[in-house]
Amino acid sequence: MGNLTGKEVAQMHKDYVMQSWSKSGVDALPVEKAKGIYFWDYDGKKYADMASLLVCSNLGHELPEIVEAIKEQADKMCFMAPVYASEPKSKLAKMLVEAAGADHFKRVFFTNGGAESNENAIKMARMVTGRTKVFSCYRSYHGATLGASNASGDWRRFAAEIGGANGFVKFMNPQMYRDGYTYGVDDEAVTKKALADLDLQLRYEGPQNVAAILMESIVGANGVILPPKGYMEGVRKLCDKYGILMICDEVMAGFFRTGKWFAWQNFDFVPDMITFAKGVTCGYVQLGGVIVNKKVADYFEENVLQCGLTYSGHTLACAAGVAALTYYKEHNIEQHVAEMHEIVAPFMQKMVEKHKCVGEARCIGLFGALEMVKNKETREPLQEYGVPGTAMPWIFAELKKRGFATFGRENFIEVCPPLIITKEELEEYKTDNIEGQFVGIGVYIVQDTEKNAIRVLAPIKGSPAETAGILAGDYIIQVDGVPYTGEQITEATNKMKGQEGTTVKIQVLRGEETLDFEVERKNVRVNPIESIVYDNNIGYIKISSFDQGCSKEFTTKLQELKNQNIESLIIDLRNNGGGIVDEATAIADLFTDKGSTLLITKDKDGNEDITYAESDKAIDVPIIVLTNENTASASEILAGALKDNNVAKIVGTTTFGKGVIQELLTMKDGTGLKLTTNEYYTPNRSKINKVGIEPDENVELSDEYKNVITVPQDQDTQLNKAIELLKE
């Protein structure tokens, strides 16, 4: 063990492992180790586990309390058959009943995982009631075994329906946003209609034939769907009305994921059975089970429980479970989740406010999801249910490249970090990736596809890189002695980041000369927007990068300039390597007529997606945009939108020419294949990639100042030309 390379592990997986929910023979990331909220691949790249793997590593990775409990039990007894009593199994059963509420619940049947838990709960319900039918939701997932899969509502049930299992009836559970309603506003009306529909469907199916209604207390794998107020309580009343057992699937939502022991405890009802898995051991050893109320427990004191599994209540798993539940209680995880929720939930809501493609944020405890849309007004999903697409797979791949490991399907992104995540970790991650602040050397870099190299667009003003002497136009060829190509720009970026106060060795190519720098990593705060007024009435705004919130800050700066009665405006995009495209188009929206085309995106099949201006002009004055050879990506999108809509002239030099979204596919022999998935075009359908935006007035800086970030005004020929033109 431990003597294989990452490439060997990945290749053996590809050759011999049948990958779940995927075609066999696909690439998989080889993971070498994990600790806390992070895991690492064999190249040393760190990933933040922002989905708790499959929403199971609630207490993170390698928690000493759980690891030691497993080791201690292994030294005593690894396994004992279910017919025998063992200390871990007995303790865990008692702890689970108490967590659920000993006034209602009495016993636990142990399984090996979530699917088996739901499978056996269904069997028990049928045995207790003597009825066959089981109602479950379309928007649901209950597992991959035959019964659990047939009870599931999403597309993963289709294969199990071949030959199938009898007695499963689906109903449509409400999803407020997707159904066109507002959570917290329309709850009463939606609940009333949904319950009336369910009642009618029960009567059509014959309630005397229905054994159970199986529901996730809060839908998990289908997008963290919160039920409207009163809905779960109403389902409980329908169950009581017709003598139907209510089963709450807590496999994903249980064990403080929502801030409570179980998600149903956030509402005002009590189920008859609770199925669980995942968070009971946090994935350290597989375990699941069914907690049953006194009525069900009493039935099986008089009747044989016709359910059995060889590894039911596995000794090592139960030892892990006891340790996990003890940790939840002793470390007051309930309170901790509540505190972390106050950071995560507002942050997710901020994503809705700042991004056109994020329609809704849903979060309870540390159980969250972002709904991705094409259009916020129509709520058209970014990817339709059951329709293959490239957008969401690209988003997940890009997030993983950036060290944000999560999952989702169709049009949502799960945000479910380990419950032990700290405020410092959350704030660091928010800052590092979203709010324009990070620990590193402070350079804007871009992939030079022609040279397959990493080019420095510009060092950030006041950054360690600028202080060390790294210049715009340099090519980074090594980081800490490791060579990097342009295709490895993400790996190089991660390598340059690190703990504040540590140093990193950077080797650059400047012309024909190779230079070495030792740069101290510092907390780099990006100030993307600077403004000033020239000659009393010429406004000037410099945009260094399109970070999140850039458009909002730009709007504030623009209003300040308007208050100073400016008569014209200069937008400086020189040395701006890009950033978030939505931020660039939001700024373009300020200067164009409503309905104007701002950006055209084409996929590899030629399908177009057009971004239009959504509001009226915020200001109507002569505008000049400054560009240079380091103006790239989102900057080129803004420059192109303003130029093609005839609201601005371009002064400076031709831009960099980066107008594609690319994906790197690793081939079987270890080589890579880079595929262009999307390409950007200006409103006049001018190609950006490898072409750039040509200026209306070509103006060069002197050689002395070409690679300098801050150019003295008297030497800034491009700025002075813009001022001259605006004075005419």
**Among all residues, which ones are annotated catalytic?**
633, 644, 658
Q: How many CA atoms, within 13 angstroms, populate the side-chain half-sphere of residue 675?
A: 10
* Closest to 128 measured CA to CA, from 296, 266, 249: 296
Joined together, the tokens standing for residue 115 give: 């699917």
Distance CA 624, CA 540 (A): 10
119 contact partners, CB below 8 Å, separation of at least 6: 111, 143, 145, 146, 147, 148
97 contact partners, CB below 8 Å, separation of at least 6: 105, 106, 107, 108, 291
User: For the chain, give me the number of helices (H) and strands (E)?
Assistant: 19, 33
Region at 85 (left for phi over 0; alpha for psi -120 to 50; beta for the rest) = beta
551 contact partners, CB below 8 Å, separation of at least 6: 354, 582, 583, 584, 586, 587
624 contact partners, CB below 8 Å, separation of at least 6: 568, 569, 570, 571, 648, 649, 650, 651, 722, 725, 726
Maximum pairwise Cα distance, the chain? 97
Strands 475-479 and 503-510, by their bridges, are antiparallel
In terms of Cβ atoms closer than 10 Å to its own Cβ (0-12, 13-18, 19+), residue 649 is middle
Quote the DSSP letter at residue 226.
P
Q: What is the dihedral of CA 690, 695, 701, 707, to 10 degrees?
A: -30
Quote the DSSP letter at residue 703.
G
Alpha helices in 285-443 (DSSP H): 294-302, 315-330, 333-354, 391-401, 423-433
Distance CA 98, CA 135 (A): 28
5 contact partners, CB below 8 Å, separation of at least 6: 42
302 contact partners, CB below 8 Å, separation of at least 6: none
295 contact partners, CB below 8 Å, separation of at least 6: 128, 272
Distance CA 673, CA 580 (A): 25
44 contact partners, CB below 8 Å, separation of at least 6: none
370 contact partners, CB below 8 Å, separation of at least 6: 348, 351, 352, 358, 360, 361, 412, 413, 415
Distance CA 671, CA 92 (A): 50
Task: For tokens 């002239």, name the residue.
Answer: 649
Q: How many CA atoms, within 13 angstroms, populate the side-chain half-sphere of residue 522?
A: 16
Given 3-state DSSP classes, what are the helix, strand and coil percentages for the chain, each rounded to the nearest 5?
35, 25, 40
Secondary structure string (H, E, C) spanning 40-101? EECCCCEEEECCHHHHCCCCCECCHHHHHHHHHHHHHCCCCCCCCCCHHHHHHHHHHHHHHC
Distance CA 269, CA 231 (A): 10
Query: Cα 119–120–123 angle (5° rounding)?
Result: 95
Across-strand partners of 523? 439
* Closest to 199 measured CA to CA, from 238, 251, 250, 244: 238
Residue pair 66/39 in contact by the 8 Å Cβ criterion:
no
Distance CA 343, CA 337 (A): 10
